[in-house]
Structure 1
Amino acid sequence: MNNTPPIIALDFPSAQETFAFLKQFDGENLFVKVGMELFYQEGPYILEQLKKQNCRIFLDLKCHDIPTTVYKAMKRLAGFGVSLVNVHAAGGSRMMEAALEGLEAGTAAGQKRPSLIAVTQLTSTSPEMLQHELLIKTPLEETVLRYSKLAEESGLDGVVCSVHEAERICRETSPSFLTVTPGIRLADDKKNDQVRVATPAMAREKGVSAIVVGRSITQAEEPVSAYRNIVREWEGIKA
């Protein structure tokens, strides 16, 4: 997945709005993220239609349950033909191992299974929230690093983390271990409900594998232009 294009978060409430947005990118082979809102509204239909448009898909459902349930869920998700799926690292090693086993069991012979990554801490989580609400006294960076190592030990392909933890994760895990980072904004954009945000250039400098960008593209006045600006910054191309 290294050197992958920016993943566009399709945070829309319906297929109709999603495809109206994507029509602006006619002819582009995009990597897109389908999250809970869109998938719960449209189900597998939305994935089938996106694949017809040659989109690669990150199915962002953040599974977190007992190992048996996650195994069965991942076995089903494997049949959708997406590129990337995720679980919560907080589910523990046995749950993550079960998720991987489910993906492998559900992937048809001769097909590549989806890459599996674990959410460490949401980019909306602040150090204060971690300590005072979640009662996790370990510093945020140390918690994220521990979850990342646990995911690697469990056989996963990588993690979801913020750019701010990615450099250390890259340093302390194997070179092939993926770091997928949401909370990406251009320098002049609003943070909205994200706390640990960064620019595409910062992500590139920290050695991130892939960036996920939502509102900076989907709510831009000219989404295609915004997307191309992010691509240039992500690839280190000077304007």
Structure 2
Amino acid sequence: MDRPIIIALDFKGKTEIDDFLNKFHDEKLFVKVGMELFYQEGPAIISHIKERGHKIFLDLKLHDIPNTVKQAMTGLAKLNVDIVNVHAAGGKKMMEAAIEGLEAGTPAGQSRPACIAVTQLTSTSQAMLEQELLIDKTLNNVVLHYALMAKESGLEGVVCSTHEVEAISERIGSSFVTVTPGIRMKDDAADDQTRIATPELARTLGSTAIVVGRSITKKQNPYEAYLQVKKAWEGTKK
């Protein structure tokens, strides 16, 4: 993975997507299609975005019994997306089943989508972990444990906050993918995220890729906002 900026397309439908993507002219993007958009538009939106030349992280966060996840991934593999994901909390058998499904469903001659595991959402705090989820470990320990399970299950990486990247890289290696959401420019509001970071901090801590939503999509000039994020992420002055 070439350290992309993944733009979260948190829109309601195809018309909004086209209006947004048209602002980027001929730039080829890496975008994230999540539940909101996929459940409204279905697989057709994936084909439409792919036809425009963009890469896709299909962010559906599968979490179910192993056989159900396997069969779901068999279907998703046919969509020609670049990344899919599961919840690591589903356990090793479920994650292994996800890989089996992807391998079974990927058309001949194509590479299967990379599969990464969500460790803990960036909206999760230590208090929530303890009081609501009844997990009496630190967030860092939980995230690292889930990352190790993902690695052992054959996944390419994890979704985590930037604040756990160093520990994961030290334990598992820098080749293990760390996709980090919760990215905000320094003057942007945190909104519903808890463990946030700037693009500069994500770069310093070693994130493989960053996921950026409202800091680009809600701006009056999304393309200019994207360029500002790109400059911060790449550490360039231009």
TM range (shorter): over 0.9
Displacement of 1:130 after TM fit?
Answer: 0.2
Following the alignment from structure 1 to structure 2, what is the Cα–Cα distance between the partners of residues 224 and 171? 35
1:202 matched to which residue of 2? Answer: 201
Q: Given the two structures, how large is their TM-score scaled by the length of structure 2?
A: 0.99
1:148 matched to which residue of 2? Answer: 147
Q: Given the two structures, how large is their TM-score scaled by the length of structure 1?
A: 0.98
Cα deviation digits, residues 180-209 of structure 1 (max 9, x gap): 000000000000000000000100001110
Displacement of 1:108 after TM fit?
Answer: 1.4
1:18 matched to which residue of 2? Answer: 17
5 Å-filtered alignment, 1:1-150, equals 1-4=1-4, 6-150=5-149
Cα deviation digits, residues 42-65 of structure 1 (max 9, x gap): 001100110111000000000000
Displacement of 1:2 after TM fit?
Answer: 3.4
1:218 matched to which residue of 2? Answer: 217
Following the alignment from structure 2 to structure 1, what is the Cα–Cα distance between the partners of residues 174 and 16? 38
Following the alignment from structure 1 to structure 2, what is the Cα–Cα distance between the partners of residues 118 and 76? 18
DSSP 3-state at the match of 1:130: helix
Q: Structure 2: which 5+ residue stretches go unaligned?
A: none
DSSP 3-state at the match of 2:120: coil
Q: Which amino acid aligns with 1:172?
A: R
Q: Which amino acid aligns with 1:3?
A: R
Following the alignment from structure 1 to structure 2, what is the Cα–Cα distance between the partners of residues 130 and 180? 21
The Cα RMSD (Å) is 0.7
Cα deviation digits, residues 156-198 of structure 1 (max 9, x gap): 0000000000111111113321000000000000000000000
DSSP 3-state at the match of 1:228: helix
Following the alignment from structure 2 to structure 1, what is the Cα–Cα distance between the partners of residues 143 and 54? 30
Matched-pair identity in %: 59
Following the alignment from structure 1 to structure 2, what is the Cα–Cα distance between the partners of residues 175 and 218? 30
